[in-house]
Amino acid sequence: ARVGEYVVLRKLGEGGMGAVYLAEDPRLGRKVAVKTLKPALAASRGDCERFLREARAAAQLHHDHVMPILHVGEDARGPYMVMPFLDGEPLDERLRREPVAPPELTLRVGREVCAGLAAAHAKGLIHRDIKPANVWLEGAPAAPELAAQARRCRVLDFGLARAVTAPDAQLTATGAVMGTPAYMAPEQARAGAVDHRADLWSLGVTLYRMTTGRLPFGGDGVTAVLIALATEAPPPVRELNPAVPPALAGLIERLLSKDPAARPPSADAVAAELARPEVQPGANGAWGPV
């Protein structure tokens, strides 16, 4: 019923490394989200260190589009971290209801995720697991207006984040594939050296998913997905959704360049392209005929 001093109310979700609970801070009387490690991982000192590194990495970032960390602790069951409990939902839940996202939401997610990534990259941190499940849409999902459904986007879960020159590199040593295969850059899938451009690839996969309703690389099982992203070219964005403006389709396809040097140079550069007039929806909220 408790994690540390926090009173658990219910489980909010579960991922590869742990679970997130809605809890109450008894001292301040406010709702918080508490993330814990799975018991099997909590027994491993290496996994505990990786979990704590997530908290340390996220705690370095003070930005409107990164989820803040309020507290880090450890009890008899292992380490935990405490975050604000925000109204809203993760982007992957939204896409399950509406596989092709509205243009306004697509561009907002792209710009605001870029803002959060730019702040991380400026501190030498690479997220390495950008995907819809790690993008929180803060707002009221049942509201009639899109602006109220997603007032702000925040990047979640720096569980795989790593400084470019990390002193604890053995925790994610070369030879260990870390991340979510469908959103993983080819150089990351090879367990090679990665830099901030791996995050830009993952953002490209997310934008491809939002504009076309499907992932660019698929297959039966992890191995098939990894082979596809390393060797295949995805169907062009406008082949799947002709309404997408050519400038936006071209940006997404450059983000998915297998050569990191062919991708845009930075998250700030991607955000600037997402603000161009050529990619904005019309007065009716839709992309016009192209």
Active-site residue set: 129
Dihedral (Cα; 207, 209, 210, 213), 10-degree rounding: 160
Count CA atoms within 13 Å of residue 155 on its CB side: 36
* Contact call for residues 109 and 206 (beta carbons, < 8 A): yes
Classify 8 as helix, strand or coil. strand
* Rounded to 5°, angle at Cα 156 from 10 and 142: 60
Q: Which residues contact 157 (CB under 8 A, 6 or more apart)?
A: 15, 54, 67, 129, 133, 134
At how many degrees (to 10) do helices 196-212 and 103-122 cross? 170
Which among 140, 142, 157, 153 is positioned nearest to 104, based on CA atoms? 153
For 24, half-sphere exposure in the C-beta direction (CA atoms, 13 angstrom radius) is: 7
Q: And the tokens for 246?
A: 């050519």
Phi–psi pair at 160, nearest 5 degrees: -110, 5
Tokens representing 142?
């049942």
Task: Look up residue 94 and give its two tokens.
Answer: 């939204």
| Phi and psi torsions of 91, nearest 5° | -60, -35
DSSP state letter for 218: -
d(CA 25, CA 253) in angstroms, rounded, equals 45
